[in-house]
Amino acid sequence: MQSALYVSLSAQVAMEKRLATIAHNVANIATGGFRADEVKFEELLTRAGKDPVSFSSSGQNYISRQAGPLNKTDNPLDVAIQGGAWFAYRGPSGPVYTRDGRFNMNENGDLVTVDGSNVLDSGGAPITLDPTLGPPVIGRDGTITQGDNQVGILGLFNLDSRSKLSRFGNSGVVSSIPGEVVQDFMSNGIQQGYSEGSNVNPVLEMTKMIALQRNFESAASTIQESESTLMDAIRTLGPSS
């Protein structure tokens, strides 16, 4: 068995997946609240021969939870999170969590995301503003006031570190474990007039891409050498005419 050939092939499969992940991240550098994809690799061992051979797995994607940069907009409906919490909006099968706080108010006064989904309060209900009372003031704890009236509380939710996050839309995620309402506003809070950008680091992603291309070329060279060695062995050990 040509172990080097199969090991190199497994490495190329893993690197191809990693390259696709980097391309997806780079394409979303300007997407508000976007969370980068990362890949976790594991080592696979086999004892098909005398000695164990180590292969690379194809890799498992996961979503980075690192915060993105804050951009000052001075828009009263733009809000950013300080800390590791998430906003929530209504999805087709339950709440969808996001760090993209670029909200709008529709013709009915509903607070909605950039794609028109209802933003949820701490109890999981949609938030409705009064279009006649002027721009809202949103406190660190999510309290929304217009004039002298409190009209709602913008929900903040913590997602368990053990939960598996699945992508929904451009910057939303669905959590395998429901989020818990934030109670401590010392480590988490809302900053009005700011929006959070993508957490993709373009310089780091381009560096990864260059390194992957070099590693891919190295693996391809190993495959060519393995094939050449195999052909030489066939010619040497094969029957002479």
Same domain? 176 vs 219: no
- Whether 241 maps to a domain, the answer reads no
Q: Do 121 and 19 fall into the same domain?
A: no
Kindly report, residue by residue over 136-193, the tens digit of the pLDDT. 999 999 999 998 889 999 999 999 999 999 999 989 999 999 999 999 899 999 999 9
Instruction: Identify whether 88 is part of a domain.
Output: yes
Contact between 93 and 50 (Cβ < 8 Å): no
| Within a domain: 158 | yes
Q: What is the DSSP string of the chain?
A: --HHHHHHHHHHHHHHHHHHHHHHHHHTTTSTT---EEEE--EEEE-SSSS-EEEE---EEEE------EEE---TTBEEEESS-BEEEEETTEEEEES--B-EE-TT-BEE-TTSPBBBBTTS-B-B--TTS-S-EE-TT-EEEETTEEEEEB--EE--TTPPEEEETTTEEEESS--EE---TTT-EEEETEEE-----HHHHHHHHHHHHHHHHHHHHHHHHHHHHHHHHHHHHSPP-
Q: Measured between alpha carbons, how far is 209 from 25 in angstroms, rounded to an integer? A: 11
Residue 129 within a domain: yes
Q: Do residue 142 and residue 187 come from a single domain?
A: yes
Quick one: CA torsion of 27, 31, 33, 36, rounded to 10 degrees? 0
If pLDDT is split at 50, 70 and 90, which confidence band does 1 have? very low
Mean pLDDT of all residues belonging to the chain: 85
pLDDT at 234: 65
Other beta carbons less than 10 A from residue 241's beta carbon:
3
Q: What gap in Å lies between CA 168 and CA 16, rounded to an integer?
A: 23
Domain range for 227: 3-61+202-235
Q: Domain count of the chain?
A: 2
pTM over the 0.75 mark: yes
pLDDT digits (tens, 9 = 90+) for 8-48: 556 666 777 788 889 899 999 999 999 999 887 555 445 55
On the question of pLDDT at 211 being above 60, the answer is: yes
